[in-house]
A and B are shown apart, each in its own frame.
Chain A
Amino acid sequence: MSIAVRNLVKNYGDTAAINDISFDVKTGEILGFLGPNGAGKTTTMKIITCYMPPTSGTVEVDGLDTAAASLEVRRKIGYLPEMNPLYLDMNVIDYLEYSAQLHALRGGAMQHRIKEMVHVCGLEGVRHKDIGELSKGYRQRVGLAQSMIHDPEVLIMDEPTSGLDPNQIAEIRALIRQLGRAKTVILSTHILSEVQATCDRVLIIHEGKIVADGTPAQLQHDFQGADTITLELKTGGADPLGAVAPKIRSAGAVTGVTLLAQGDGHSTFEVHADKGTDIREALFRVAVAEGWVVLEMHRRVTTLEEVFHKLTTA
């Protein structure tokens, strides 16, 4: 079940919420939408789920156009909107039954799906409680359960873990990974570790445009600056600045050495090298040749946070 988004534009009055966005999601892929608030993530999702049409451009879900075959598309999609709206006066089972019926499930098939979702989402203990009495974590599970009740092939989730505590986030994330295994998933978030933990691919959106597209590792690599290595050595009596630093500098592509700390025969350096060169082996050989002990060597990698920051503050 693939999704093809082509030249999507959405204007609210004079302001463009999204401005010429195109991307594809392959079957079985989990795509993460990243972007600051107001970047156009929610708008894009609302268009894909047929809540509202774009100003121009098209979205096709499994080859079906969202404008021409809206009902068909909606049958294939499970949607968890931002803020997870629920009917607080309904109890969990009644609500799931209602959601199932809106997806034309009836009788035994419906009961089977409800039972399964209650089990998978861990709702056994609260099935007859009113949704209004549930904690935020349980409400989120109910939201997930309703979005999956018809076993959709496409799952679209707008900030599924916002407002949850760290334990609940871990639970919901595990649930998404488990449930999303055989599905095409688009989820938006502003928690970057979430993208790293759950997504195959990341789209970073900024001011209505896509500014980066790739796997988390790819993006980290692409936006990697100069290599930085933290090196802690046990050098005995050698003078850190006078004797050790020059030796380090002699190892390959090193562009700079800074002494961070010293004392008791130990010294810690920050070693800078040209982008993309891994000088750890060369450093190790220098240490061995000099009879120093390497206590710690750590290559700092650009985090997704830094990539995000770089792309969305420019």
Chain B
Amino acid sequence: MAALSLSLSNVGPIYRRELRSYFNSPVAYVVIVVFLAIVGWYFSSNLFLINTASMRVVFELVPLVFLFFVPAVTMRLLAEEKKSGTLELLTTKPVRDAEIVLGKFLAAWSLLAATLAPTLVYLITLMFLGSPDLGPVIAGYIGLLLTGGVYIAIGIFASGLTENQIVAFLVGLLIVLALFLADKVLIYMPSVIAPTIEYMGIDYHFGSIARGVIDSRDIIYFGSVMGFALMLATASLERRKW
């Protein structure tokens, strides 16, 4: 399969263009500010209520915010280029479809990391107020990045299905919502398939990482879902060839 041989020198320009396009428009700033406002308000209003030096509230809220935030960030990645016709130009350059998808994926992931970075201020605040346990915090951030990565890969796939960004957003939201809710509907499931459904649930794996345990089973889960969604996204580009 073509996806196996990728050239970073092709991914690079696509990554840089996409990242620049995020930060050249007000979209990135608006999204970041809204994200920080929601998380900041939630963090500060709970801090003195719980009265413990813990980032737990952040790790509870952010995956929820990501459900809407990530599809909004990824919806334009392929849909916009499909609509304007630049995708035809891009795919007739000597670049593999998988390189296009990977460049866009990494750009969105970088934006996500840039959005999360300011929340480290909360951690510094906590360190003044008490002594938070750093292990779960680091693990929590790794978990957030992995969860976000999975959402982004799914979002790009959704964006590759249509030229309509709203449709891309809704499809993306629907899929990540299904992954998020999978381990929360177990009581309605027959007991035979319940463990499988639970394993599919992204929050189940995020939860176990956020407790401070980085288990290879969770890493394999995140890696394989991300990889699978990126392969589907590449296939959605190649759909023109069918």
A binding-site residues for B, Cβ under 8 Å: 46, 49-53, 71-72, 74-75, 77, 79, 81, 83, 85-90, 94, 98-99, 101-104, 146
Contact = CB atoms under 8 A, between A and B. Distances in A.
B93 A89 contact: no
A85 B84 contact: yes
A77 B92 CA distance: 9
B65 to A, nearest CB: 27
Nearest to A74: B94
B10 interface: yes
Contact of A74 (B85, B92, B240, B241): B92
Interface of B: 9-10, 12-14, 17, 20-21, 24-25, 84-86, 88-96, 240-241
Contacts of A75: 94
B25 A89 contact: yes
A90 B20 CA distance: 9
A49 B96 CA distance: 14
A85 B85 contact: yes
Contact of A99 (B9, B10, B93, B96): B93
Given A83-B85, A85-B84, A98-B13, A50 B92 contact: yes
Given A51-B240, A52-B240, A89 B24 contact: yes
Given A53-B241, A102-B10, A102-B13, A74 B84 contact: no
A102 B85 contact: no
Given A83-B85, A103-B94, 8 more contacts: A46-B88, A52-B240, A71-B94, A74-B93, A79-B92, A87-B17, A89-B25, A104-B94
Contacts of B94: 71-72, 74-75, 102-104
A162 to B, nearest CB: 14
B84 to A, nearest CB: 5
A144 B238 CA distance: 26
Contacts of A99: 93
A72 B96 CA distance: 11
26 contacts: A49-B92, A51-B240, A52-B240, A52-B241, A71-B94, A75-B94, A77-B92, A79-B89, A81-B85, A81-B88, A83-B85, A85-B89, A86-B84, A86-B86, A87-B84, A87-B86, A88-B84, A89-B21, A90-B17, A98-B17, A101-B13, A102-B13, A102-B93, A103-B93, A103-B94, A146-B89
Contacts of A87: 17, 21, 84, 86
A52 B241 CA distance: 5
A101 to B, nearest CB: 4
Contacts of A50: 92
A23 to B, nearest CB: 20
B9 A104 contact: yes
A51 B88 contact: yes
B90 A102 contact: yes
A85 B93 contact: no
A18 to B, nearest CB: 16
A85 B92 contact: no
B89 A71 contact: no
Nearest to A72: B94
Contacts of B21: 87, 89-90
Contacts of A77: 92
A101 B85 CA distance: 20
A88 B85 CA distance: 12
A8 to B, nearest CB: 15
A53 B14 CA distance: 24
